[in-house]
Amino acid sequence: MNSSNEIKMLLDKAVLRFNHLDFIENDPIQISHRFIRKEDIEIAGFLSASIAWGQRKTIIRNGWRLMARMDFAPFDFIMEEDDFTPFLDFVHRTFNGEDCVFFLHSLKNIYQNHGGLEQVFTEGFQQDNSIFTALKHFRDVFLEVPHEDRSRKHLSDVSKNSSAKRLNMFLRWMVRNDDKGVDFGLWKNIPMSSLMLPLDVHTGNVGRDLGLLTRRQNDWKAVEEITEILRTFDADDPIKYDFALFGLGVNG
């Protein structure tokens, strides 16, 4: 690629190729698409995103397992249940039953005492209109509930330069709003223009191949670097290019 215009043209074509309903068939976002109620979509999305590493088939299978054990009514289940110990046998890679029970208790605390996931992320964002602060504030609130130290590793810490891939992906699902039907656009007080790229191996490798990313580590500094360039391609909706970078990385 000899120019940013050529790169933008390539990515715009890839967005059209991958940002459509067929994308859902092989992506964890399909689990949230099972629901209509806002809170169910949020909780299903957050839990699915939280275990979104490894093989996508396994991620999706385990996401559905969680929903089935909540009788496919995750909001009602979390609000009405006090004993989550039956989830102690849940395992997804290094995310074990203790982690799962903690996550469920923390979600209950967030909806009971903090106005829900949208409210927590929005309050953090509005401190200085940055996703960095939204993620930091969310982590602080999430960790209010008693937990084992080991569980902290499953909640990205941007203050320690984590790329926060799974949380940024969850925010994309909740905030982005277009006419393609993949992302939900449920949250109205965080603008699409402020979203950050869910940087992973696939998006990072394609970004480097295209000259969009010079930093070798997939960390928060790399997220800032590549997202700033994507904003020059589309200032209002830079993270639509997640579809392009991820799709090109996985499918070629």
Contact between residue 219 and residue 226 where contact means Cβ atoms under 8 Å apart: no
In one-letter notation, the amino acid at residue 168 is N
**pLDDT digits over 51-77, tens only?**
999 999 999 999 999 999 999 999 999
Rounded to an integer, the average pLDDT of 225-242 is 98
Output the 3-class SS for 60-121: HHHHHHHHHHCCCCHHHHHHHCCCCHHHHHCCECCECHHHHHHHHHHHHHHHHHCCCHHHHH
Closest to 202 (Cα-Cα) out of 76, 3, 62, 53? 53
Mean pLDDT, all residues of the chain: 96
Number of domains within the chain: 1
Residue 5 contacts by C-beta under 8 Å, 6 or more apart in sequence? none
Q: pLDDT tens digit string along 8-54? A: 999 999 999 999 999 999 999 999 999 999 999 999 999 999 999 99
**Does residue 2 have a pLDDT over 60?**
no
Distance CA 71, CA 202 (A): 34
92 residue type, one letter: H
pLDDT tens profile 145-174: 999 999 999 999 999 999 999 999 999 999
Tell me which residue range forms the domain holding 109: 4-251
